[in-house]
Amino acid sequence: MKRSENQTARYDDRPIGVFDSGVGGLTVVKQLMKRLPQESIIYFGDTARIPYGTKSEKIVRRFALEDSFFLLDKGVKAIVVACNTASANAIPLLEKVLPVPVTGVIHPGAEAAVQRTRNGKIGVIGTAATIRSSTYRKEILRLQDGLQIVSQACPLFVPLVEEGWIEDEATYLIARRYLQPMIDNGVDTLILGCTHYPLLKNVIQKIVGPQVNLVDSGVETARVVEELLGEHHLFARPDHLPDHQFFLSDLPYKFQEIAERFLEQSIPHVQTVNFEQFLMEKGETFWKAYEEELAAFI
Amino acid sequence: MKRSENQTARYDDRPIGVFDSGVGGLTVVKQLMKRLPQESIIYFGDTARIPYGTKSEKIVRRFALEDSFFLLDKGVKAIVVACNTASANAIPLLEKVLPVPVTGVIHPGAEAAVQRTRNGKIGVIGTAATIRSSTYRKEILRLQDGLQIVSQACPLFVPLVEEGWIEDEATYLIARRYLQPMIDNGVDTLILGCTHYPLLKNVIQKIVGPQVNLVDSGVETARVVEELLGEHHLFARPDHLPDHQFFLSDLPYKFQEIAERFLEQSIPHVQTVNFEQFLMEKGETFWKAYEEELAAFI
C-alpha cells in the first residue's frame, strides 16, 4: 500500500489488537487510549499460560502466533505485542506472516533511549528473563554501536506492583538496591523494560534523580502504533466512539483490582475465554493459512 | 501388604521420588535427607511448566501424573508430591492409580498443626493460589471441626527467597505486614504453607514471637514418608550409601545458587530433561497402563 494512494482521507474503525502473557500489557493499553482516544482496543491476556519468560523461544513463538490468531479472529487491524518476552522472540515471525501491521515493545523503547541519551550510558531494568536474554542490549547496539549499557534484573518489582505496594517503604528500600548500579555508572537514560514498571515511575525517578530520562515502553509503543496506523491508512474516524474489550484465558487472583490500577480507569467488561477450545476449533485453519511462511520459523 | 508379613527384616534400596513444579520442593528433600540419610532421592522439578498455582485443577492433575510417570520410569519405590498445588489437586488420584505409596505436603502439615495447637487458633501462610484454594483450611477442619483458621497470602516471600534476601531489612518490613493478622488474632500455631518459606523461618519466628509454633511442611512430610516406608517395608538397608539425582525440565536463572541455598549443601549433578520428548516416547504407555483407573478422574 503506497502513501500516494491516500489522496482522500480513508478511515478504518476496526479495533487494534493487543496481547500480553498477563496483565502488564494494560500499561501499554493505557498509553494507546491516551494517544489514540478514538481507537477501539481488543486486549488478550494469556493468563492461563503465564509466564512466557521461563519458556523456550520456540514455545513463545507458538504462543505469540496463537494469541495473534485470537485477535485476528476478532477482526483487528493491527497487533501490538505488549509483552517483552514475546516481543523479543516473535516479532520477525509475526511481521512476516500476519496480514496486519505489528509492533512489539522492545524496539520502540530502545529507539527512544538511543535518541535521548547524551552521555551514551543507557540503563535497562526488567524481569530476570528479559535481562538474561540481552534483548534490549542487542537492539540498542544494533541501532547504535558503542553505547554503554548497564542492565539490572529486578524480580521483586512485579510482585510489589501486583500487591499494590507502590509508594511504600519496602518498595523504596528494594528499588534503591536494584538501582544503585545505575547511579554508580552515571546512566542518563533508563529503560523501564517491563510493562509493570511504569507504575513505579515516581519511585524510580526519585531514586535515580530528576536528571535521568525514564523511557516508558508503553508511551513509545503508542507513538509507533500511531505511525503504523498513519502509514497504512488505518486511523479510525476522528469522531469514532471507541469500544474496548478485554479477554483473558484465565481469571487470576485480584484481576479487577490490579487491572484498574494499571489502566487508571475501571474495566467494564472482562471476558474469560476457553483458549484451548478456541485453538481446537479455529487454530488449525489459521495454521494452515500461514503454513508456507511458518515453515521457515517453527 | 500386611504388617504381619514382616517377620524378617526386608529392605528396598530403590530411590524415593520427589517432584515439584520448581525448586521449592528441595526444602522437603533437605528434611528427607536429614531424617532418612540412607535413602536415595530422585528429584524432578518441572521448571518448564512452572507455576502450577495458576493452572486449572484438571491440568494440574495431568501434570502431577506425568511427573509421577517420569519418577516411576526411574524406578522409585515411593512418591512425594513436594508441591502445594499438586498436593491440593492430585493426591486422591495419585493414591488411587500409582503402584507405589504417595504423600503430599498438605495433610502432614495440617495434621501437625491440629495436634500442636493449644488455643485452637491456627495460622496459614502461602502463595496467593494456595490461600485462595482454601486447601489447608479444608484439611484442618476435616481433621478437627471448630478450629479458628487465619489465612494470609504472602506473594512477595517467594521472590524474596529466590533473591536470597533473607535476613534483610526489606524482608522484615514485608514479613511484619503479612504476619500482623497472625499476631492480632493470637494464633499459637502457624503453618508455613509453601515449600519456599522454611528459608524465612528465623525471620517469621522473630516477628510472631517464640510462643508461636511454626509448622514446617517439609519436616512433617519427612515424618510421614518414614511412616509410609515402614508400613510398606521399603526402608533402604541401614548401611546403604545413598545416590541422589536431580532432574529439571528446564534450567532456570540462578538455579544452582538457589538450589544450594534450599538444600544447604551442594548439588553435584543436575540434569535437564526434554520432558516433552519423554512424554512422547513413554507417556502413552503409562497412560494406557492406568486407563481404567484414570477414567474416573481425568
For residues B111 and B88, give the distance between their C-alpha atoms in angstroms, rounded to a whole number. Answer: 15
B156, B185, B216 — which closes off a domain?
Answer: B216
Residues of chain A above pLDDT 90, percent: 73
Tell me, yes or no, whether B212 and B189 share the same domain.
yes
Q: Are B156 and B128 in contact (CB under 8 A)?
A: no
Write the pLDDT tens digit of every residue in B131-182. Answer: 988 999 999 999 999 999 999 999 999 999 989 999 999 999 999 999 999 9
- Whether the predicted pLDDT of A206 surpasses 80: yes
Chain B contact residues (CB < 8 Å to A): 47-48, 50-51, 54-56, 128-129, 132, 153, 155-156, 158-160, 162-163, 169-170, 173-174, 177, 250, 252-254
Percent of chain A with pLDDT over 70: 96
Residues A54 and A93 in one domain: yes
What pLDDT does B3 receive? Answer: 45
**Residue A269, domain extent:** 3-104+220-295
Residues A100, A228 within the same domain: yes
Tell me the β-bridge partners of A191: A124, A215
Positive or negative CA dihedral for B36, B40, B45, B46?
negative
Q: Verify that A80 and A155 share a domain, yes or no.
A: no
3 state SS for B182-239: HHHCCCCEEEECCCCHHHHHHHHHHHHCCCCEEEEHHHHHHHHHHHHHHHCCCCCCCC
pLDDT reported for residue B1: 44
Domain co-membership, A10 together with A87: yes
pLDDT for res A8: 61
Distance from CA of B24 to the nearest CA of A (A): 16
Considering only residues A111 and A162, tell me which one the structure prediction assigns the higher pLDDT: A111
| C-alpha–C-alpha distance, residues B31 and B22, integer Å | 17
Comparing alpha-carbon positions, the chain A residue that sits nearest to B132 is A253
User: Do B12 and B33 belong to one domain?
Assistant: yes
Residues A97 and A235 occupy one common structural domain: yes
Q: Is A154 a catalytic residue?
A: no
Q: How many domains does chain B have?
A: 2
Residue A176 and residue A205 in one domain: yes
Contacting B with CB below 8 Å, chain A residues are: 47-48, 50-51, 54-56, 128-129, 132, 153, 155-156, 158-160, 162-163, 169-170, 173-174, 177, 250, 252-254
Q: Are residues B46 and B95 in the same domain?
A: yes
Cell of A206: 526519585
Q: How far is CA A49 from CA A74, A245, B128, B213, B281, in A?
A: 20, 20, 17, 37, 24
Q: What is residue A103's predicted lDDT score, i.e. its pLDDT?
A: 98
Q: Which residues contact A287 (CB under 8 A, 6 or more apart)?
A: A294
Q: How close is the nearest chain A Cα to the Cα of B22, in Å?
A: 11
Average pLDDT rounded to a whole number, residues A13-23: 96
Q: Is B2 exposed, middle or buried (0-12, 13-18, 19+ CB in 10 A)?
A: exposed
**List of chain B residues with pLDDT < 70:** 1-9, 253, 296-298
Q: Which residue has the higher pLDDT, A128 or A72?
A: A72
pLDDT of residue B296: 67
Report yes or no: B260 and B267 within 8 Å, Cβ to Cβ.
Answer: yes
Chain A residues in contact with B207 by the CB 8 A cut-off are none
| B101 and B134 share one domain | no
Question: ipTM higher than 0.90?
Answer: no
Q: Which domain-ending residue is among A217, A240, A267? A: A217
Q: Which residues of B touch A154 (CB under 8 A)?
A: none
Per-residue pLDDT, averaged over A196-225, amounts to 97
Q: Last residue of a domain, which of A164, A197, A217?
A: A217
pTM of the full structure? 0.87
pLDDT surpasses 70 at A192: yes
Q: Residues B93, B64: contact at Cβ < 8 Å?
A: yes
* pLDDT at residue A256, rounded to an integer: 83
Q: What is the domain-level CATH number for residue B174?
A: 3.40.50.1860
Same domain, A280 and A140: no
B90 and B147 co-located in one domain: no
Q: What integer is the mean pLDDT of A74-85?
A: 97
Give, for B153, the enclosing helix (H) or strand (E). strand B148-153
SS3 string, B16-45, reads EEEEECCCCCHHHHHHHHHHCCCCCEEEEE
The C-alpha atoms of residue B171 and residue A85 are separated, in whole angstroms, by: 28
Closest B-chain CA to A133: B253
